A and B are shown apart, each in its own frame.
Chain A
Amino acid sequence: MPFQTLRTWFERKPSVAPPPKDRSQLRVGIARVLNVWSTHQFWVAFLKELGISSENIVFSSDTSEEQGREFGKGRGTVDCCYPVKCISGHYGELVFGQKKKINILLSPMIHSLPSILHGHVVDTVTCTRVMAGPENIKAGFLKERDVFAENDIVYASPFVSLGDRHMVTEQLFTSLKDVFDLDLEETARAVQAGFQALDSFTTKARQRSRDILAWCAQNGKPCILVLARPYHMDPGIGHEIEGELQAHGYPILWLQYLPGDDDLVNWLFEEDVKTGRIKSPFDISDVWTSSYSSNTNEIMWGAKFATRCPWITCVIRLSSYECGMDQPTYTPSQKIVEATGTLYFKFGDLDSTKPGGGIKIRVETIVHYLSKYSEEIIQRKLGYLSPDCPLAVARRSDAAVST
């Protein structure tokens, strides 16, 4: 379907549209894995807009070894990437572990991602292994018998370029039209609703991060930035390591939701833009030229942000076992962070098991250094920046706004 037609549909009044199809009885299970961890609300709003009721949208639970043992058993793959491997447990749980059976198992192959760096980098695609993860895992459920068919479940794995918004409607229409009995117009509407919901969540989370930084600025307190991929927020993959540091009284930021407001990034990157080192605050070409991978790009930008932002006195790097995407980023991200004396600690090779005993002592060690050096780090980093800190300004204007 060519795009001219699409545009005319967009321009039509909603009242002209045919009555929505009744999908209120359809139950859709979504595997809570990989980049669904950063595109969550897109899928929720997309399905809701299609008329699937909220209670009929089911996410698999957080990754856990029990989940893998109980539901994924023997359907594993040769993949060494645990975030991919664990999907068999998620699928199994959606197929076998639901009190009320699902009709559709939705596990998108996300090819590109929306990114704050969009337009400033070469591309925002995902790791190929991650993108194709669903295909890989699906095979384990089809090998001998079609487990999905046996359980009256339609397996839907749309290939979708969420980073290239103009392509999404056609992609989802093509791959899902038979699954949901879609027409192009309602697909376009659902996609629009999806992006709206996702953008609204992202905006909210970025604002929350800004609030944290503002609080730190006003109270002269440190916080910690986590450099990791979105799915390390899954307690079964990142093992909530950052939560242990949080329990010692340090707010935690994640690079995915760093504030990108002009005033703040201009303040942080002022010098680099002025000297022509970078073209904009979101330009990472000074440290990472082959900027294709969305998550990798953001990790590098996060490192740059962290090393400049005075109140981020410590960066925690999380990385899964044998992650080929992370491999080349270790040294540069560490060097960037440490360039201003910001503390950097890495928890690498994460796998299915929580690295038990080691964590406590490492967390304590990190806390020791945080409490000993944070003040000094904040002051030193403030010294590198102009005195016109927008976060201190924010306090005054906030007060003004609230009146």
Chain B
Amino acid sequence: MGTDRLIKIEPLAANPAAVKATITAEGPRGAGENRICGLDVGSTTCKYVLASGDGHSLAQAYERHNTKQAEKVLEFLVRLENQYHLTPGQDRIFFTGSGAGIIAPLVGGKVIQEVVAVASAVERLHPSVRFVSEIGGEDMKTIFLTGEGSAKSKQVLMQSACSGGTGTFIEKTARKLEIPLERLSKMRYQGYTLHKVSSKCGIFAEADANTLLKAGVSVEEIIASLFEAVVYQNLATLTRGNTPLPEILLLGGPNLFFTGLQEAWRHHLAKLWKERKVAMPEGKDPTSMIRVPDDALYYAAQGCVEAGFREPQSTAVYQGAGKLRWWIEEGQHEEKKKLGRGGLWKDPQELAAFKARYGNGKGNVKSGCGKDNHAAAAQRVLPPIGKLGPVVVGCDFGSTTAKAVCLSPQKDLLFSCYALSRGNPIEDAKSLFRQVRTALGEGELLALAITGYGKDLLNDILGADCPVVETIAHATAGLHFFPDADCICDVGGVDVKIMILNNGAVTDFRLNSQCSSGNGAFLQGVAERFQIPMNDMADRAFEARAMPQLSMDCGVFLQSDIVNQQRKGWQADEILAGLCTILPLNVWIYAGGLNNLKQVGKKYILQGGTHKNLAVVKTQADFILSKIPDAEVVVHPYSGEAGAIGAAIEKLAYKTRTSLDTVCHWCPVTCQRSFIDVELEGGKGREWSKVPLSSGWERVIVNNSCPKGLMEDLNEMKVVKAEIERTKNAFPNIADLVRKEAFRRATT
């Protein structure tokens, strides 16, 4: 998080007198009546502690600043002046935290490095503590303290470049799971089955949690797993070979608020101590050696006060809030203008012209432009229900909805519909096809093609002959509406697909589903953090009249950069605009690896959910046009599509079985599944099954709560494995030779 986070710890021995003064806790503080205020300006919250000249605490507060750090500090200062008589020119003020650097000089304050501050407080309040973990909103720190008295030394480790192991890591996912903070704070760790959640990156953890949720894992278990991941990440990355020794102090908001996180710490540390044979003081239970003080939040602010006592009287004298107020009202804007760049548009006319072309959901093509008849047709809504002619049907069975479209043989879109998934894919299909049938009337169904995750499951059963991989379906769809396109850029929720076309054929294809920086989920995540609804995102971004220059990088670093920009005073709207601006860079250069757009071509189709955001469309168009001035950028009117030759659905008949024999035994949850058996020509049957199925039938398994349950039992696994083995034996892999033979010890 920027260079100012580089840690420079002054050796304690440098000023033994000062050390002594602070260690003798209740001794004379060597100060007059002047009060000292410690302010901790963190990434999500601000805290203050006001102490009298003899070290007694007079007031403290902890509040979220909702990205308005400077404003919150001003509010605090006004309060302190009015209620507690903080006096300019007399009392002293010390700052710490990610926002301290900018604010402190404005009010005459001095910045104390965060870890130094925390360590100062700990040393005074808890002389027997050997290990401190402070988890913040977007950082984590550990302090190892060794030795005694003036020989005391500390080793500080800090991590603030990545969300793994921080408070945001938990909160981000909890927000997604719609768990209110009050409930989250009471949720437990002990006694729950733990699942694997990526401990490294908050963005992936969120995806993992989503998958678990879909698989029917309870929210309690997911949260417990998150606590596990945070502790694991702290221990794995921040201990670096040191063993945290008792006593342990847990600090920071997350450690204080989340009961489950404390439990996870206790569990892991006790286990670690046992493994590494760390002796406990006599008669002490390991868990009692791990303490979470009630005022765990205030340690950094408290530490500022402590450090303040060591400073000469003349430093950090409070100068009043006037300059800070000026900076909030005017200064920051001027500075921002110098640092940043203009908004997303040059002048209102340009924005209006852009909105006129791309606005209203499906706009994309300049009127009367060339031979884009298809696109024009697509914009006409023409379902004369019940009177469609012969149609080709394409279905997209996604994980939450199923969608179908009917096309005329001339490939005009005649009808589209969708059904929410209710767990039985066959019923979903039927519900979808009832709608299609109603629309179709007497019309003939010429062909059927399927895409989406359900394609393999349903392809045979629906009698469709053509399962289409999602990516290929997207490409076909794009080409259908814009046959002369050179490139299709699909930015979805979790992945970025770039398909490069040449004479109507896909010649290159880039898919990036590992990097979160360019995808919609990231943008959505940031908007959520600013509490901006998805639908308002574009408008808010357009409101910005200046924006920060964000770094083009991985999503996690980008997140830190956003905090950095917040610190400089940039507001949510402006950051969103900045984010929209770098999205094309992330999509094309970082995710797509396309440094030279010119070689791709001139006509670009933008599709996928993220392009519903007009601000993104604007930046995408501007980016492409800046590289290729005569490029044409269009937004695809629909996202799913297919086209193939197939069969009909009418004859579909099935029987369902739900019995003891259909219970899933892959894990202790033992889901009661149902088997749906469909009579199908060429069906392989399942003679080995507990519920045998003769050939000529196929089975679909439903009501399983996780993907494992799709496999009937061990017998099926054997059959499937044998089949894969057969293929693999027929088509060798040189790596298998290495894996099997290269480490062989016995002479053959």
Contacts and interface: CB of A to CB of B under 8 A. Distances in A.
Interface of A: 32, 37, 40-41, 44, 48, 54-55, 57, 59, 62, 65, 69, 73-78, 139-141, 143-144, 201, 204-205, 208-209, 212, 223, 226, 233, 235, 238, 242-243, 246-254, 256-257, 330-331, 334, 338, 341, 345-346, 348-349, 351-353, 355-358, 361-362, 364-365, 368-369
Q: Is the interface of B mostly helix, strand, loop or mixed?
A: mixed
A76 B236 contact: yes
Contact of B731 (A32, A55, A204, A249): A249
A251 B734 CA distance: 8
B743 A365 contact: no
A353 B727 CA distance: 26
B733 A144 contact: no
Given A69-B232, A365-B471, A235 B742 contact: no
30 contacts: A40-B738, A54-B747, A62-B739, A74-B235, A74-B236, A74-B243, A75-B241, A144-B241, A205-B738, A208-B732, A223-B731, A226-B735, A233-B738, A243-B736, A248-B727, A249-B727, A249-B730, A252-B732, A330-B593, A341-B507, A346-B593, A352-B200, A353-B204, A358-B513, A358-B514, A361-B471, A361-B513, A365-B469, A365-B471, A369-B506
Contact of A246 (B470, B509, B727): B727
Contacts of B509: 345, 365, 369
Contact of B734 (A54, A75, A143, A205): A205
A78 B314 CA distance: 41
A269 to B, nearest CB: 21
Given A208-B734, A246-B727, A44 B508 contact: no
A312 to B, nearest CB: 12
Interface string B560-597: 00000000000000000000000000000000010100
Nearest to B469: A364
A243 B734 contact: no
A361 B733 contact: no
Interface in B706-748: 724, 727-728, 730-739, 741-747
A356 B211 CA distance: 11
A83 B741 CA distance: 21
A113 to B, nearest CB: 14
Nearest to A144: B243
A243 B728 CA distance: 8
Nearest to A55: B745
Contacts of B735: 226, 233, 238, 242-243, 252, 254
Nearest to B236: A76
Contacts of B24: none
The 6 nearest A-B residue pairs measured at CB: A358-B513, A143-B241, A252-B733, A54-B745, A140-B241, A40-B742
B447 interface: no
A41 B240 contact: no
B241 A357 contact: no
B626 interface: no
Contacts of B595: 331
Contacts of A361: 469-471, 511, 513
Nearest to B724: A247
B495 interface: yes
B734 A257 contact: yes
B746 A54 contact: yes
B515 interface: yes
Contacts of B471: 361, 365, 368
Given A248-B727, A252-B735, A365-B511, 7 more contacts: A74-B236, A76-B240, A201-B741, A330-B593, A346-B593, A357-B211, A361-B469
Given A353-B198, A355-B513, A355-B514, A74 B734 contact: no
B270 to A, nearest CB: 14
B236 A73 contact: yes
Contacts of A48: 745
A343 to B, nearest CB: 9
Interface in B235-255: 235-237, 239-243
B417 interface: no
A115 B595 CA distance: 33
A242 B507 CA distance: 22
Nearest to A232: B735
Contacts of A334: 593
A37 B734 CA distance: 13
A252 B732 CA distance: 6
Q: A41, A330, A361 — which one has the most chain B CB atoms within 10 A of its CB?
A: A361
A116 B394 CA distance: 52
A357 B204 CA distance: 12
Residue of B727, B730, B742 with most partner-chain A CB within 10 A: B742
A212 B731 CA distance: 8
Given A57-B745, A140-B240, A205-B738, A358 B731 contact: no
A89 to B, nearest CB: 11
A201 B731 contact: no
Contacts of A226: 735
B532 interface: no
Contacts of A251: 731-733
B472 interface: yes
Given A54-B745, A201-B742, A233-B739, A247 B514 contact: no
Interface string B468-483: 0111100000000000
A254 B239 contact: no
